[in-house]
A = this chain, B = another copy of it.
């Protein structure tokens, strides 16, 4: 198999930017990634773009990648537009990775973008894609995760305070991440006192909506040589998966089977295991989710996720710092951008560029994302494993 590398990353701040446009947000991230890689738009041979809801929100269902390409000055190359719910950015990265892996291309650009603060037309409140019926009867992602929290508490004795401590930890990380959406420190008491959403989850247990974009440049060895660059972040695995619906009757609410399987395939592809991971970004769309991801990814034993965060093992200086960017909870979650924002953080961690939130000596990094619901399972999932060298 060809070796592939992340040669550069870049992102916009995440926040509410209703006056921006999809193309300008995506272009800003893309240009930063290209500058970080030290290459020009003309070097890009294939462009892959992830956005989850640009059609419903902004009336542009195809062609977000073309729009970004035009703003940046990337023309004439294959452009892919990926729609995979919250995992859209990760799937866009996987498509770019696979294009390079196939030997057809040596330099690929993956961009994720979303703008949730601006909508053309009125539209209904945003539920997960294709869940209009479920939304009408009250099932929303928050409800799903609230049930997961209740179940995890009942099965494993996970405490409300442990769940809240995920949000506290991630906000502490965000204080040191200038592109994060919410950076003011919070306490467990703040989380517990915040507005109830779906019991036991309160407002500070839930990620915000937002706008933003993130991007990564992927190159092969041949591409790096031709461009005269020396990338130091190797892609050890990029795996995406979809749900197994027929087993839903046996599904557990306190573990996400799809993520377990996707992670297993990624560890196999990388010839690595959870014990090798030094830093991770996970899909902490709700505080409870991060606790379950610890367990599903093998960072700790089943049922021990609450203690893992409470004891500081996922904080800076702990065994495996998680969501050092601030995560979805505090960096923010503009759907299609998130998967690539995770890789921006990890590439920076592996290159020692994270300042006060830097995980010293980080060499192996893992990103995990979940997207969409279908018949009680996640519909899409992605795990990426990166290795840093040369530090």
Contact = CB atoms under 8 A, between A and B. Distances in A.
Interface of A: 1, 47, 52-56, 59-63, 65-67, 69-70, 73, 75-85, 88, 91, 94-95, 98-99, 101-104, 120, 129-130, 132, 239-246, 258, 261, 371-372, 374-375, 379-380
Contacts of A258: 76
Given A52-B62, A81-B84, 13 more contacts: A60-B130, A62-B88, A62-B129, A62-B372, A63-B129, A65-B242, A70-B375, A75-B244, A78-B242, A79-B379, A79-B380, A80-B95, A98-B102
B130 A59 contact: yes
A371 B104 CA distance: 22
Highest count of chain B CB atoms <10 Å: which of A81, A82, A245:
A81
A245 B70 contact: yes
Contacts of A244: 75-76
A78 B241 contact: yes
A84 B62 contact: yes
A18 to B, nearest CB: 18
Nearest to A336: B62
Contact of A243 (B66, B239, B245): B66
Contacts of A85: 62-63
Contacts of A94: 78
A91 B66 CA distance: 14
A61 B67 contact: no
A108 to B, nearest CB: 11
A118 to B, nearest CB: 14
Contacts of A69: 242
A313 to B, nearest CB: 31
Given A80-B82, A83-B61, A242-B76, A66 B380 contact: yes
